[in-house]
Structure 1
Amino acid sequence: MLVALAVALVPAFIFAPGPLAASMSGGGFGDQRILSDSLSESFVDYWSSGDRDFSPDLERVVDYWLHYHVVKAVIAATLLAVLTTLGVLLWRAFLRAGEFAAGGRTALASAGVVVTALALFSLAAVMANIQGAIAPFSSLLSMLPMYAAHGELADTLDQVRQRLADYPNSGDRTPPAIEVMVSDFSRYHAVMAVAATMVAAVLVGMSVVSWKRFARTGASDRRTRRVFRSFGLLSALLSSAVIVVAGANLTTTADPAPALLAFFKGGW
C-alpha cells in the first residue's frame, strides 16, 4: 500500500499542482511560456505604475503561484511521510532478515537506500515549496526571461538593476516596487534559513541517536552496527550541509539587496 501510494504521489507532484492551483486561484496558465509572458507583461505594468500594491494582473499571477506551491508542498509532505514510514519498515526488516538468503537481504538494503534517498529529495521539495508559498513573488521572479528580455521588459529590468545598485543610498525616493522586492526577497531567504535550521536540528538529533545505538550494539551484531553507523555518518554530513545553507540564507536575509541585484544580473 505504501509503495502504491508513493508511486501515485510522484506523478501527482508533477502534474496536479497546475490544475489545482488554477481552480483555487480562479485562473491558470497553460504552460511555463504563458506564465512567463503573463508575468513579464504584468511586471512591466507594476513597475510603471509606481504603486506599492500589485496590479490586478500581477496579483493574479502571484496568487496562482502561491497556490501552486501550496499544492506541491502538501503533496511533497505526504510523500515524505509515506517514504519515511516505508523506509523505517524496510530497515527494520533488513535488521531482522537473518533467516533470509543473501539476495533477500541485499534487496531489502537496496530498497532501503533508494527510499531513503527519495525521502531526502522529498524533504528538499517540502522546504523549497514552503519557501515559495510564503514568498511567492520572489519565487516567481525566477520566471522572468532575464537573458531573453527585449522591449519594455528589457528597459524595466535595466531600471530595476540601476535602482538596486543605488539601494538604499539613492538620492531620490526609492521606488515602492524596489522596497517590496527587497522585503519579499529577505522573507524568501528567512523562510529557508528557519526551515534549514529546523532540519539541521533534527538531523543532528538523528545522528546522536544513531551513534548511541551503534555504541550499545554488541560487536557480534555487525549488520545492526553497520546500519546505525551509516545513518550516523549520513545524518552528520547532511546536517553540516544544511547548516551551511541556513547560514547563507541568514546572511542574505540580513542584507538582501546585493543578492537581489545579482539575481537580476543573472549571476545568482
Structure 2
Amino acid sequence: MSTTTPTTTAPGPSRTADVPVRAVTVLAALAAALVPAFVLAPGPVAGSLSGGGYGGRRELEDRLSASFVDYWAAGERGFPPGLRGVVDYWSRYHLVKAVVAALLLAVLVALGLLLRKAYLRAGGLTAGRRAALASAGAAVTALALFSLAMVMANVQGTVAPFSSLLSMLPLHAPHGVPAGTLEEIRRQLAAYPDGGRTPPPVEVMVSDFGRYHAVLAVAATAVALCAAAISAVSWRRFAAAASDRRTRRVLRSSGLLWALMAAAVAVIAVANTATTADPAPALLAFFEGGW
C-alpha cells in the first residue's frame, strides 16, 4: 500500500510584508534622537569649540550689547576681542545646528521614501493601516520641510553670524544699546552711502547684512529650482500612471505640494535678492524697530 505524504502549503506573505518595519523603526529612532540634539547640542559644542560658552540668552545678550557698544565707539572695521568671541561662538552655534538639521533632513527623506513605497504597495493592508501609512508619510513630509528650513536658516547664520546676532541686540531694554548710540547708527544708515565719510562699523554692518540675505537668496533659489523639477517629474509620472489610482493620488499630491513650495520659496528668493542689492534700508528698518 502506498502512502502519500501530505503537502504543506507555505504561509502566505504577511499583510505587513511590504512595510520595512525594521528600517522604518531605525530611521524613526534616529529622527527622534536628532530632534533634541538640534535643541540641546549646539550651545555646549559651540562653547567647547570657541573656548567658552554662555549661561543663557540673557548672558549672551549682555555680552553682545557691551561689546557692540565698544565696537561702535572704537570706529574701526575689525571686531574688538569681546565681540569677536561672541561672533565666533555664534557662527559655530549655527554650524552645529545646520549639521544636525541636515542629518535630520536626510533621515526624514529616507523615512519618507520608505513610507511612500510601502503605501504604494499596500494593497494587502486594511484601510486603517493604509490610512496610518498615509498619515505617517504626511507627518514626515512636514517635518522634512521644517528641517530644510532650519538648514537654510542656520547656514545663513553660519556664513553671516554678525548680522544674525544683530537680531539679538536688546535695543529697548535697560541693559541694551544706549539711545545715543542707536541714534548715531540710524543717522549714518539713513545717509548711507551718500552722507560723506561712512564710519567703518557701518560699512561692515551693511556689507555683512547684504551677505546674510545673499546666502538665503542663493539657498532659496536652489530649493525653488529643485522643487519645480520634482513637481514636473511628479506630474509627468502622474500622466503616465493611467490605471493605478493609488499611484496617481500620490503623484498628484506630490506635484501640487512641490509646485506650491517652489512658488513660496521663489518669493523668498526674490525678496532676499532685492535686500542683497540694497541692504542699508532694511538694516535701518531693523534699528528703527521695523522688524
Task: Return the TM-score normalized by structure 2.
Answer: 0.90
Match of 1:160 in 2: 185
Q: For residues 153 and 59 of structure 1, what CA distance do their matches in structure 2 show?
A: 20
For 2:272 and 2:58, the matched residues in 1 are separated by 29
Q: Percent identity?
A: 67
Correspondences of 1:117-132 after superposition (within 5 Å): 117-132=142-157
Q: Does 1:249 align with 2:275?
A: no
CA-to-partner distance for each residue in 1:40-97, whole Å, 9 max, x for gaps?
0000000000111000000000000000000000000000000000000001100100
2:163 aligned to 135, 138, 149, which one?
A: 138
Question: Given the alignment of the two structures, is residue 177 of structure 1 paired with residue 201 of structure 2, yes or no?
Answer: yes
Larger Rg: 2
In the alignment, does 2:247 pair up with 1:214?
no
Matched, 1:236 2:259: yes
Contact 1:41 1:153 in 2 (8 A): no
Match of 1:194 among 215, 218, 228: 218
Match of 2:107 in 1: 82
Partner of 2:42: 17
Q: Closer, same or farther in 2 for the Cα pair 1:152/1:182, shift >3 Å? A: closer
Give me the whole-angstrom Cα distance separating, in 1, the residues matched to 2:176 and 2:129: 63
Letter in 2 for 1:244: V
Q: Which runs of 5+ in 2 are unaligned?
A: 1-25
Distance, in Å, in 2 between the alignment partners of 1:81 and 1:151 is: 40
C-alpha displacement of 1:177: 0.1
Q: 1:69 aligns with which of 74, 91, 94?
A: 94
Aligned-residue offset at 1:151: 7.3
Q: Distance in 2 between matches of 1:196 and 1:149?
A: 37
CA deviation after TM superposition for structure 1 residue 152, in Å = 5.5
Residues 75 and 201, structure 2, Cα contact 8 Å, conserved in 1: yes
- Distance in 2 (CA, whole Å) between partners of 1:126 and 1:142 is 19
Number of aligned residue pairs: 266
**Counterpart residue number, 1:267:** 290
- Return 5+ residue gaps in structure 1 as ranges: none
RMSD between aligned residues: 1.0
Distance in 2, matches of 1:53 and 1:205, equals 43
CA change 1:81–1:152 in 2 (3 A) is: closer
Aligned-partner SS, 2:173: coil
- Deviating runs (4+, > 6 A) in structure 1? none
Query: Which residue number in structure 1 is paired with residue 56 of structure 2?
Result: 31
